[in-house]
């Protein structure tokens, strides 16, 4: 089973075919960075058109069982997520609404302070706000996963402890391996995984040792070490694949409508665009390379399968349905 728990590509039939060619059973796709509720619904409408246009390639994923259905029918189940809580605006009732529309992951922050918590680029970290605690409880109730990939340390640790259901860091790597601002310190990963949560390893070059030049062996050795440290059952992939996106999109991701100044995020004035992906992972057909790399650093087949999708599948089973009363 292959599940990629984070992509934000410039979607096209070509990419959907590559998902199928790569035998990717499920992808969690980002459908909002800074969009408000109505704009997010417009993005869902666009996905509905793609589901209608390419029924042999993709369909709307709602439950873990849809991953099995995708495998049985040779297609890819698409699960929606937000990298920011902007789609719920200031209205906690929208948590249940967006879940009904297919949202399964929502970051409490994207780099900046939000109404709910603090992003990883802020100077001061409030932890969960008053509304943040209410929204985490509501997300727990309806089955919308708390994702802290772009959040600050204290906020992440508090969310992991406050949430009654396991949370996720869908796309980031250990800070100990590569000290990028978006990578996660030991105490943060420990808080998430010790409470049953998941870490999805990112292939976004800014999160990799030596960025685009990162070797497959270095990446897979890092995963094997994380398995020893945190337990393999808490680990999966969230490649952050942003295939075919123009550089205008990374500017939207970073700046949205919140700033009059350019913010380069993980880039810089001299390299403001999307970085090139490592040669061994450029699109959805390259997951076999990672499987081979994991085997070469000593992982057993069942361990490789757990990393490639088995763990996310179990997490989907536990996380997407409403909480029992």
**103 contacts 83 by C-beta, under 8 angstroms:** no
Of the two residues 269 and 325, which places its CB atom closer to a second copy in the complex?
325
> Of the two residues 38 and 257, which places its CB atom closer to a second copy in the complex?
38
Q: Does the footprint of a second copy cover residue 255 (CB under 8 A)?
A: no
- How many residues interact with a second copy (rule CB under 8 A)? 19
Cα–Cα distance measured from residue 62 to residue 319, given in angstroms and rounded to the nearest whole number: 11
Secondary structure string (H, E, C) spanning 74-118: CCEEEEEEECCCHHHCCCCHHHHHHHHCCEEEEECCCCCCCCCCC
Q: Which stretch binds a second copy (CB under 8 A): 42-50, 76-84, 246-254, 297-305?
A: 42-50
Q: Is 38 in the site for a second copy (CB under 8 A)?
A: yes
Q: Give the nearest distance from C-beta 47 to a second copy in angstroms.
A: 10
Residues 73-92 that bind a second copy (CB under 8 A): 91
CB of 77 to a second copy, least distance (A): 16
User: In 3D, which of 85, 128, 107, 137 has the Cα closest to residue 5?
Assistant: 107
Q: Angle at the Cα of 205 (from 273 to 11), degrees rounded to 5?
A: 65
The Cα–Cα gap between 58 and 1 comes to 16
Which of residues 261, 302, 324, 325 is near a second copy by CB under 8 A?
325
Task: Using alpha carbons, list the distances in angstroms from residue 218 to 203, 224, 227, 229.
Answer: 12, 10, 14, 16
Return the residue of 42, 262, 271, 288 that touches a second copy, per CB under 8 A.
Answer: 42
Nearer to a second copy, 92 or 295 (CB): 92
Residue at token pair 């700046």:
255
Listed ranges 38-46, 157-165, 180-188, 243-251: which one lies at the site for a second copy (CB under 8 A): 38-46
With CB under 8 A as the contact rule, the residue among 93, 123, 257, 260 that binds a second copy is: 93
**Stretch binding a second copy (CB under 8 A), from 94-102, 162-170, 221-229, 300-308:** 94-102
Q: Provide the β-strand partners of residue 199.
A: 169, 235
Q: Give residue for tokens 């909002």.
A: 32
Considering the complex, what minimum distance in angstroms separates the CB of residue 96 from a second copy?
A: 5
- One of 17, 22, 41, 289 touching a second copy (CB under 8 A): 41
Q: How far is the CB of 141 from a second copy (least distance, A)?
A: 8
Q: What is the DSSP letter of 271?
A: B
Task: Give the nearer residue to a second copy in terms of CB position, either 73 or 217.
Answer: 73
**Candidate list 35, 37, 229, 256; residue touching a second copy; CB under 8 A:** 37
Q: Are 186 and 176 in contact (CB under 8 A)?
A: yes
144 touches 87 (CB < 8 A):
no
Q: Does residue 295 bind a second copy (CB under 8 A)? A: no
261 three-state secondary structure = coil
Binding mask 95-114 for a second copy (x = CB under 8 A): -xx--xxx------------
Q: Minimum distance between the CB of residue 101 and a second copy, rounded to whole angstroms?
A: 6
Task: List the interface residues with a second copy, window 45-74 (CB under 8 A).
Answer: 45-46, 48-49, 55
The CA-based diameter of the chain, rounded to the nearest angstrom, is: 54
One-character DSSP codes across 137-172? HHHHHHT-EEE-TTB-HHHHHHHHHH-SS--EE-S-
Q: Give the binding site for a second copy (CB under 8 A).
A: 37-38, 41-42, 44-46, 48-49, 55, 91, 93-94, 96-97, 100-102, 325
């Amino acid at each position: 089973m292959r599940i990629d728990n984070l992509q934000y590509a410039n979607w096209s039939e070509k990419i959907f075919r590559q998902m199928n060619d790569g035998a990717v059973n499920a992808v969690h796709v980002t459908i909002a960075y800074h969009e408000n509720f109505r704009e997010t619904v417009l993005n869902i409408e666009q996905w509905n058109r793609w589901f209608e246009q390419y029924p042999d390639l993709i369909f709307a994923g709602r439950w873990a069982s849809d991953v099995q259905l995708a495998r049985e029918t040779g297609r890819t189940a698409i699960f929606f997520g937000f990298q920011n809580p902007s789609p719920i605006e200031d209205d906690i009732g929208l948590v249940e609404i967006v879940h009904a529309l297919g949202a399964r992951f929502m970051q409490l922050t994207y780099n900046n302070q939000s109404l709910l918590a603090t992003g990883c680029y802020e100077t001061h970290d409030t932890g969960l706000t008053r509304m943040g605690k209410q929204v985490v409880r509501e997300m727990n109730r309806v089955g919308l996963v708390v994702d802290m990939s772009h959040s600050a340390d204290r906020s992440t640790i508090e969310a992991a402890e406050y949430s009654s259901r396991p949370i996720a860091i869908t796309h980031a790597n250990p800070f100990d391996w590569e000290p990028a601002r978006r990578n996660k310190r030991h105490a943060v990963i420990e808080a998430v995984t010790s409470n049953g949560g998941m870490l999805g390893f990112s292939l976004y070059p800014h999160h990799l040792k030596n960025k685009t030049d990162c070797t497959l062996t270095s990446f897979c050795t890092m995963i094997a070490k994380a398995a020893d440290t945190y337990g393999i059952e808490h680990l999966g992939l969230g490649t952050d694949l942003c295939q075919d996106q123009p550089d205008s999109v990374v500017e939207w991701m970073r700046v949205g409508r919140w700033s009059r100044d350019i913010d380069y995020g993980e880039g810089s004035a001299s390299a403001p665009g999307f970085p090139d992906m490592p040669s061994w992972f450029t699109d959805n057909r390259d997951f076999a390379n990672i499987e081979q790399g994991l085997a070469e650093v000593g992982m057993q087949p069942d361990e490789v399968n757990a990393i490639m999708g088995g763990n996310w599948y179990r997490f989907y089973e536990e996380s997407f349905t409403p909480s029992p009363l």
